[in-house]
Amino acid sequence: MKDYYDVIVVGGSSSGSYFARNMAKQGFSVLIIEKDAAEKISSGYDIFHMSARERNSFDLPEVKPGDGVYEFEYKESFSYSALGNYPKYGDAPVIGMHRHEYMLMMNAWARKSGAEILYEADFSGLVYTYGRISGVRFRHGGVECVYSCRLVADCSGKSAVVRTALPDDYGIETRPLTEKDVFFVKLRYIKFREPQAKKWMKSQFYLYYKTWLAPCGDDADCILGIGSSLGYDNGDRVYEEFLKNVKIPPFDVVKEELGTTPYHRPLYSFVSDGFIALGDAAWMTKANNGEGCIAQLPLEDIAADLGGKVLKREKYPTRELLWKINKAYYSGPGRDAVLMLAALSRAANHSLETNEWLFKNDTIFADKILCESAVPKPLTAGDILRMAGNLIKGTLTRKVSGREIRFLLSGAVRGIRIYLHYLRYPSKAENFKKWSKKSAKLWKKTGQMSDWSNTDSGR
Ligand SMILES: Cc1cc2nc3c(=O)[nH]c(=O)nc-3n(C[C@H](O)[C@H](O)[C@H](O)COP(=O)(O)OP(=O)(O)OC[C@H]3O[C@@H](n4cnc5c(N)ncnc54)[C@H](O)[C@@H]3O)c2cc1C
């Protein structure tokens, strides 16, 4: 094995394999260093889900029944109110896969394009030349290794071991995630006690509790997943409330899995001299369902395309040269992602009565908004006017409190403000300071999910 590469990727899970593959495909020499052994990689939890339609829009290896990765697929899902009423239907197919086996498949796929992988290689620091990154240090087999490269990609997940090791003045956010910035996810694999309960084995969202009940495959009937802010205890409280209000047939929990996932706006900038952050290390989350493995792909495609062009043209990828990656992401998919995150952070918190009313009246929680459909059903001005009319009627007839409606609307308004601000994302790195200062103010005013999780209506 040589000790110089064009690109060194730290972390060989989903974001690392995908980026390594796309860089190696362009002819660059690429090394992934992964701290775990191959037989342990991504084994923290088992089943994970991906929207099949979105998956198909990216260049990913095919999965199919019998390959040890694919577990199940279902075609439709339903969203319910807090008391299990007023179902909204969606025909968005979802694939369930075994995570560890999937990552081995992704590793093999990266290798097939020419990337090399070193397992049990633990990143320990960066090498700098004239103050700019020029390589990485890692421990492998009890030995400290030093390898040189032109670009380091931090794909080490939410610990972001590379980014957080950078000096504070390196031109990128270096802080780690705090407990306030993540979702605590508990997956309960359940088996129903009575055979007639099988009708419950369909994909069901209960947004009020940030809870999802979905068919599971062979080992259990369903997975009951709850995502909550501020710790697992909070999630357990929500679980009790959910079981009290939604009458699910008796079941046994056969297995539990826990983990945290970022629930935070993405980094303001992903690049610096000889450096890029991707995946969870860049705080990529799909705000409406937590599918981080899909959320990370649009930025990764942009990074491989524009980053590849820089590496082909120039000797060293400076922050200025890589800046186009930020601009391209926030001119497209990134802008939609921040709008969704900002709006949802408030919309998800309201009282049970209001949730019932909103579902009943197809207001905010409407078919068109909740359910991705094979046939796109865009919201029309008429839809929006009808919803606004409903909200006013609800307030006037005292079915919903004016305070709650103001809070919900303020989420939409702040989301739009943030969206408009990202429309003005700077084209050049030199204008970034002013832009990020204003962003910080807007996000502070908007707040995040955890800010309301211990209020009366928050969960
Ligand atoms: C319980 C739970 C359920 C989830 N369910 C879903 C789901 O159904 N669908 C979905 O799309 N997403 C889901 N997510 C989110 C998803 O798991 C993450 O968004 C995704 O794994 C992030 O990918 P990543 O490659 O950026 O980071 P990770 O998958 O965390 O990978 C980081 C890699 O870096 C390695 N690494 C870390 N430190 C070092 C070091 N010092 N040196 C070398 N290597 C290092 C790690 O060993 C690891 O292999 C879930 C998350 C949780 C917690």
Spacing, Cα 157 to ligand 1 middle (Å): 5
**12 and 44 assigned to the same domain:** yes
| ∠ CA 346-347-349, rounded to 5° | 70
Does the beta carbon of 173 lie inside 6 Å of ligand 1?
A: no
What pLDDT sits at residue 141?
A: 94
Q: Is the CB of 290 under 6 A from ligand 1?
A: yes
349 and 324 both lie in a single domain:
no
Grade residue 245 by pLDDT with cuts at 50, 70 and 90: very high
**Minimum CA distance residue for ligand 1 atom 13:** 291
- For ligand 1, mutation pick of 43, 156, 267 (most atoms within 8 Å of CB): 156
290 and 164 within one domain: yes
Rounded to an integer, what distance in angstroms lies between the CA atom of residue 367 and that of residue 386? 14
- Average pLDDT for residues 119-146, to the nearest whole number? 98
Tell me if 80 is assigned to some domain.
no
Q: Are residues 20 and 38 in the same domain?
A: yes
Global confidence as pTM: 0.94
Name the residue of 14, 51, 278 to mutate for ligand 1: max ligand atoms within 8 A of Cβ. Answer: 14
pLDDT confidence band for 131 (50 / 70 / 90)? very high
Provide the domain count of the chain. 3
* Mean pLDDT over each residue of the chain, to the nearest integer: 90
Residue 27 and residue 156 share a domain: yes
Full residue range of the structural domain in which residue 439 is found:
336-452
User: For residue 260, which atom of ligand 1 is closest to its CA?
Assistant: 53
Residue 376 Cα to ligand 1 midpoint, Å, equals: 31
Rounded average pLDDT over 129-148: 97
Report the atom number in ligand 1 closest to the C-alpha of 41. Answer: 49
pLDDT at 213: 93
CATH number of the domain residue 226 falls in? 3.30.9.10
Top-confidence residue, 289 or 72: 72
What distance in Å separates the CA atoms of residue 81 and residue 350, rounded to the nearest whole number?
12
Same domain, 286 and 416: no
Q: Kindly state whether residue 32 falls inside one of the protein's structural domains.
A: yes
> What pLDDT score does 374 carry?
44
54 lines ligand 1 (CB under 6 A): no
Report d(CA 373, CA 44) in Å as an integer: 32
203 lines ligand 1 (CB under 6 A): no
- Check pocket membership of 17 for ligand 1, CB cut-off 6 A: no
Residue 247 lies in a domain: yes
Residue 11 covered by a domain: yes
pLDDT (tens digit, 9 = 90+) per residue, 250-259? 999 999 999 9
Decide whether any atom of ligand 1 lies within 6 Å of the 291 Cβ: yes
Q: Which atom of ligand 1 is nearest to the CA of 36?
A: 47
Q: Is the pLDDT of residue 387 over 80?
A: no
Instruction: Return the minimum-mean-pLDDT range out of 160-169, 180-189, 367-376.
Output: 367-376
31 shares its domain with 168: yes
Among 221, 242, 262, residue at a domain's last position? 262
Question: How far, in Å, from the CA of 94 to the mean position of ligand 1?
Answer: 19
Distance 293 CA to ligand 1 centre (A): 8
Q: Please check the confidence at residue 367 and state whether its pLDDT lies above 70.
A: no
The tens digit of pLDDT for each residue in 3-47 reads 999 999 999 999 999 999 999 999 999 999 999 999 999 999 999
Residue 261 Cβ contacting ligand 1 at under 6 Å: yes
- Does the residue 458 lie in any domain? no
Q: What is the mean pLDDT of residues 192-215?
A: 89
